[in-house]
């Protein structure tokens, strides 16, 4: 496997690790032993294209769910108020 493909797979695995969880990025970096990704623009761009962290509950929601800053659950709560 080419180095670029391996890196792409690592990005994918980390995003899957975070998806639907409240894990912190720090935890994910530690789990994959890749703390250097914290400053990696390619990874940040990839993560931003897949998931966002809910402002309210810290849940990793799919891009396109909720209002872009809060997950579906948290943005629903606001509508009901
Ligand atoms: Zn939320």
Going from the Cα of 56 to the center of ligand 1, the distance in angstroms, rounded, reads 5
1: in domain: no
Work out the pLDDT band at 3, boundaries 50, 70, 90.
Answer: confident
Q: Does residue 2 sit within a domain?
A: no
Residue 34 in domain: yes
Please give the pLDDT value at position 67: 86
Q: Is residue 32 part of a domain?
A: yes
Domain ranges, residue 55: 7-80
pLDDT in tens, 61-79: 999 988 889 999 999 765 5
Near ion ligand 1, which residues have CB within 5 Å?
A: 54, 56-57, 59, 71, 74
**Domain membership flag for residue 37:** yes
How many whole angstroms from 28 Cα to the centroid of ligand 1?
19
pLDDT at residue 79, as a whole number: 54
Domain count, the chain: 1
Residue 53 Cα, ligand 1 centroid: separation in angstroms?
8
How does DSSP assign 3-59, residue by residue?
HHHHHHHHHHHHHHHHTTS---HHHHHHHTT-GGGGG-HHHHHHHHHHEEE-TTT--
Write the pLDDT tens digit of every residue in 10-63.
Answer: 999 999 999 999 999 999 999 999 999 999 999 999 999 999 999 999 999 999
Task: Report the separation in Å between the CA atom of 74 and the middle of ligand 1, taken as the mean of its atom positions.
Answer: 4
């Amino acid at each position: 496997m080419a180095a670029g493909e391996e890196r792409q797979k690592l990005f994918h695995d980390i995003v899957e690790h975070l998806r639907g969880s409240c894990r912190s990025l720090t935890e994910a970096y530690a789990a994959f032993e890749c703390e250097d990704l914290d400053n990696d623009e390619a990874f940040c761009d990839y993560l931003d294209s897949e998931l966002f962290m809910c402002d309210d509950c810290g849940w990793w929601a799919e891009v396109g769910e909720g209002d872009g800053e809060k997950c579906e659950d948290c943005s629903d709560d606001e509508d009901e108020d």
